[in-house]
Amino acid sequence: MQLAEGRAGRPERCFFRQTREVSDSVRPNSTVPPVSATPTPGVSTLFEPAQLGPLTLRNRVIKAATFEGLSPDGLVTDSLIEFHRSVAAGGVAMTTVAYLSVAPEGRTHAECIQLVDQAVPGLRRLTQAVHAEGALVSAQIGHAGPVANASSNRAQSIAPGRMFNPLGMRRTRSATEADIARITADYARSAQLCVKAGFDAIEIHLGHNYLLSAFLSPKFNQRTDRFGGSLENRARFARQVVLAVRDAVGESVAVTAKLNMVDGFRGGLGITESIQVAEWLQADGALNALELTGGSSLANPMFLFKGRAPLKQFGATLPWYLRPGFKLVGKKFLRSYPYQEAYFLPLAKQVQAQVDLPLILLGGISKLETAQAAVAEGFAFVAMGRALLHDPDLINKYQAGSASSSGCVHCNRCMPTIYTGTRCPLVDPRPGDEPIVGV
């Protein structure tokens, strides 16, 4: 794609910002005949097979992308394989491996898996283990952009404009049009490696103010070239990446995108603009589904999670030079939100009213009745994260009638464990863990 020349703005911005929040307004061969990806409203088909592009999933439950912290050398480990194998054995239709970076500077930190040739053998062992349990497996690919820790990566981070990120104590640089062209090609190359490794689906990360999401956000994207300004310009990078990925992998795998409905802070992407982006992505014809999310790893992480903010535990994971500052602004950076089931549903229904693409509902799905209701209301799939971390066998239990709710209490103590191996402290306590009270 030919890129016009232009000038990018370079406003200085900071990572820990005191922003004001916005309101929550072996591959299995199935013999099951293909069925519609979008269920009939009013009828729950949670445990029936469903179509996702070229794939037939055994039910409508997907393990959401979460970083497991089990790749200390940036490569797949036996522990990471076992994590996804156990979720697959537990009954989900598809598990999502995250976070897979398309470029060295696009890793969140150095322990992130980068999609290079050396990573393929380990990823292939992982996909084979999941397929052996009868489930499918998706690869979440992305570029962290301003969320990347430049100090850990030993590579300068890239953003729509210049900003300061104290996590790595470095300034980002403003992406040039050459960077945008290179990164677009990196997505295509990385998607091809995922297919080579045996993945059934590719999920493109367009959320949480990672690079493509940061370009969508009017707060972070104040460029004056063809990649900034109007929403059409701000969406240009994301749209060309999605098209490039589809062109690279063809029609043999499913391609989905994880899209922010709102950034969760004043001046960020809002629901009206997000719906327009979703309509453009639908018109482009490259996606098989959209997974709907919200929040910002830069400005409001808890908007995604809801529930209690693990301030003390998160602060203990930070480098020593960040801890004093976090004590001052931590409560504003990690806000506690009341937890409720399906907390993104009101926003997601606004997208559903305007978009015909199959939609994946994420956020606060811990009870069987919540998942069933979401499917009955026309969402193609539900994505679950913390509930499955607490109990990988939960979907089997739902189907067997031996459970109707996850034991997850939404304390979010799992969040800080991503740096040492993601776990639920309720079921896998370690020495030094503080008691979880008030549950």
Asked whether residue 289 is domain-assigned, the answer is yes
Mean pLDDT taken over the chain: 88
Residue 429 pLDDT level (bands cut at 50, 70, 90): confident
pTM: predicted TM-score of the whole model, two decimal places: 0.88
Q: Which of 210, 337, 343, 398 is catalytic?
A: 210
Residue 316 pLDDT level (bands cut at 50, 70, 90): confident
Asked whether residue 38 is domain-assigned, the answer is no
Q: What percent of the chain has pLDDT over 70?
A: 89
Task: Read off the CATH number of the domain in which 263 is found.
Answer: 3.20.20.70
Asked whether residue 28 is domain-assigned, the answer is no
C-alpha torsion 255→260→148→234, nearest 10: 90
Mean pLDDT check: name the lowest of 41-55, 108-122, 181-195, 255-269: 41-55
Asked whether residue 44 is domain-assigned, the answer is no
DSSP string, 375-392: HHTT-SEEEESHHHHH-T
- Residue numbers of the domain that contains 344: 50-419
Asked whether residue 245 is domain-assigned, the answer is yes
- Catalytic annotation present for 99: no
Asked whether residue 391 is domain-assigned, the answer is yes
Asked whether residue 19 is domain-assigned, the answer is no
Cα 229 to Cα 38: distance, rounded to the nearest angstrom: 35
Asked whether residue 36 is domain-assigned, the answer is no
For the segment 84-113, the average pLDDT, to the nearest whole number, is 96
What pLDDT, in 10s, does the model give residues 341-372?
999 999 999 999 999 999 999 999 999 999 99
What pLDDT, in 10s, does the model give residues 236-284?
999 999 999 999 999 999 999 999 999 999 999 999 999 999 999 999 9
- The total domain count for the chain is 1
C-beta pairs of 41-48 under 8 Å, 24+ apart in sequence = 41/376, 41/377, 41/378, 42/376, 43/376, 44/372, 44/373, 44/375, 44/376, 45/375, 46/371, 46/372, 46/375, 46/382, 47/398, 47/399
